Structure 1
Amino acid sequence: MGEKVAALGLDVGRKRIGVAGCDGTGLIATGLTTIVRSSYDQDIAQIRQLVEARQVNLLVVGLPYTMAGEIGAQAKQVQKFARRLAEKLGLALEYMDERLSSVEAENQLKAQKKFSSYNKGLIDQQAAEIILQQWLDLRRSRLQEEGDHLHR
C-alpha cells in the first residue's frame, strides 16, 4: 500500500463547495475549507490553488442521486461542473454517492457541539469529508480484496 494518495473530496452545491483532503496514506479525510461560489473561473482558481498546494491528482466528487438511486437534474449539474473541472486541471475524477452526506454531516457536527444552522459552510465541508472518507474506505477494502486474492 505504498502508493501515496492525493485526493480532494468535493461536495458541490449551487452556493458553496465543501472541500476535504486526505493524508498521504489514504486513511483519513479531513475537512479543509468551504468555497463560496462566485464565478466559474474563480471557483476553478480556488480549487486549483488547493490542488497545487496539496499535489492532488484525483477529485472525488459527491454525486447527489435521487433517493430512488437515479441521476436527477442536480446530479447532472454536478457531473457537468466536475468533468469541466477535472479536464481543466488535468485530474482523474471519481464519484461517490452522497445522498445522505449532508444529513450525516449535520449529525456529526451536532454530536461535536459544533452545529449551527447558520454555518452551512461547515456542513458542506463536513459533507466533503464524509464523501472522501467513504471513497478512501472503499478503496482500501478493494486493495485488501486484491491482496487477499493474490495470496491465495
Structure 2
Amino acid sequence: MSLSDFSSLDIHSSPRIMGLDAGERRIGVAVSDSLGWTAQGVEVIDRRMSDWLKRLDELVREYDVRSIVVGLPRNMNGTLGPRGEACKQLAKQLEQRYSLPVHLWDERLSTIAAERTLIDADISRKKRKKVIDQMAASWILQGYLDAQRGLES
C-alpha cells in the first residue's frame, strides 16, 4: 500500500465502538479507533436540549458505531444508586433505538481520574468543566477496550 492509498481512506468508514459518560445534564462521547485499540473524546452533548438524541443519532451514523458502552456509576461498595439505575435505563433505550449491543461498564472513579489528569496538566477550572465529561467517556471506553483485548489474548 502506498502513501496515496491512505489519502483516500475515510477515517469514519470503519465501524467503531462508542463510549458514553451519561450525566443528568451532559453526556460525554468518545469513540474507538477503527481497530478498537484507543478511545478518543468526541464531544459533550447537552441533555437539556430537546433534540440531544438527534445529535447522538448523527454521531452513531458518522462513526458507523457497531456497539455502545455506557458508564455505570456504582457506589464504592458495588451497589447501584439512582444514577446507576438511570444509566441502565438509558442503555436499554439506546439498545432499542439503534438495535446495537449496549454494554454497561463500571465507571467508578473515571471522572475523578479524568479530573486529576486535567489538574496535573494545569488546565484551568473553566476549561476542565468543558471537557471533563468527554474525557471521562474516553476513560470508560478505554477501560472497556483494554478488557476486551485482555479477553481475546
Q: TM-score, normalised by structure 1?
A: 0.86
**1:55 matched residue in structure 2:** 64
CA distance in 2, matches of 1:137, 1:26: 9
1:136 aligns with 2:136: no
SS in 2 for 1:34: strand
Alignment partner of 1:103 is 2:112: yes
**Deviations, residues 57-91 of structure 1 (Å, cap 9, x unaligned):** 10101000111101111100111012112211111
Aligned: 1:13 with 2:23: yes
* Per-residue deviation, 1:34: 0.3
| Aligned-partner residue type, residue 28 of structure 2 | G
> What SS does structure 2 have at the residue aligned with 1:124?
helix
Secondary structure of the corresponding residue to residue 51 of structure 2: helix
SS at 2:116 equivalent: helix
Any stretches of 5+ residues in structure 2 without a counterpart?
1-13
Q: Percent same amino acid at aligned positions?
A: 35
Gaps of 5+ in 1: 145-152
Structure 1 letter corresponding to 2:36: G
Q: Deviations over 1:78-122 (max 9, x none)?
A: 110121122111111101110100000101112223342564231
Q: Report the Cα distance in structure 1 between the residues aligned to 2:124 and 2:98, rounded to whole angstroms.
A: 33
Question: What is the alpha-carbon root mean square deviation over aligned residues?
Answer: 1.6
Question: When the two structures are aligned, how many residues end up with a matched partner?
Answer: 140
Give distance in 1, aligned partners of 2:151 and 2:59: 27
- For normalisation by structure 2, the TM-score amounts to 0.85
